[in-house]
Amino acid sequence: MPEPARIVPSLDGLSRAFWTGGSRGELMLSHCQACQYWIHPPKPLCPRCHERDLRWEPTSGVATLFSYTVNFKAWNPKVPVPYVLGIVELPEQAGLRLTTNIVNCSVDDIEIGMRLRVNFEQHGEVFVPLFEPAASVERLRTESAG
Ligand SMILES: [Zn+2]
């Protein structure tokens, strides 16, 4: 069996729900029940109000591209280049950001502020949340409908 190109996280820690929500197609984040603050990466208590009443809840799964960089150098021969490292911002809360890869998009078409949607990459029990252009999916649907 080929070794996975991606380093797959352990499911033992606080972030288990984050890495497994993709099995249901859900991007799960920790949400403070006391002050409604979304927390990423997960913490044992709310960094805003210091309460411990946190629950994992699904987000909308959409985002906008906050920043990115394109990697052209094959640091790992098992990871095809170029690939895009992105920081995406979720609409649930100002400043709620995830570091991820932008996939299913030509490097030339990447733009700050572009609308994205989550797309999970499965490795056994782990579903890594990646993001792809929301518009390309809509465009394909429109083209096939017309
Ligand atoms: Zn809170």
The CA 45 to ligand 1 mean position distance, Å, reads 8
CA distance 129 to 112: 19
CA of 26 to the centre of ligand 1 (A): 22
Contact in structure between 20 and 3 (CB atoms under 8 Å): no
Q: Ligand 1 centroid vs 16 CA: distance in angstroms?
A: 20
d(C-alpha 99, C-alpha 108), whole Å: 20
Q: How many Å lie between the centroid of ligand 1 and the Cα of residue 40?
A: 13
User: Rounded to two decimals, what is the model's pTM?
Assistant: 0.88
The residues spanned by each domain of the chain are 16-145
**Average pLDDT score over the chain:** 91
User: What is the 89 CA–ligand 1 centroid distance (Å)?
Assistant: 20
In angstroms, what is the span from residue 39 Cα to ligand 1's centroid?
A: 9
Taking the centre of ligand 1 as the mean of its atom positions, its distance from the CA of residue 124, in whole angstroms, is 33
Written in H, E and C, the secondary structure of 44-96 is CCCCCCCCCCEEEEECCCEEEEEEEEEECCCCCCCCCCCEEEEEEECCCCCCC
| Mean of pLDDT values over 67-90 | 94
Predicted confidence at residue 144, as pLDDT, reads 59
pLDDT at 2 over 60: no
Ligand 1 centroid – CA 64 distance (Å): 24
Least confident interval from 43-52, 71-80, 84-93, 112-121: 71-80
pLDDT of 20 above 70: yes
Summarize pLDDT for 82-129 with one digit per residue, the tens.
Answer: 999 999 999 999 999 999 999 999 999 999 999 999 999 999 999 999
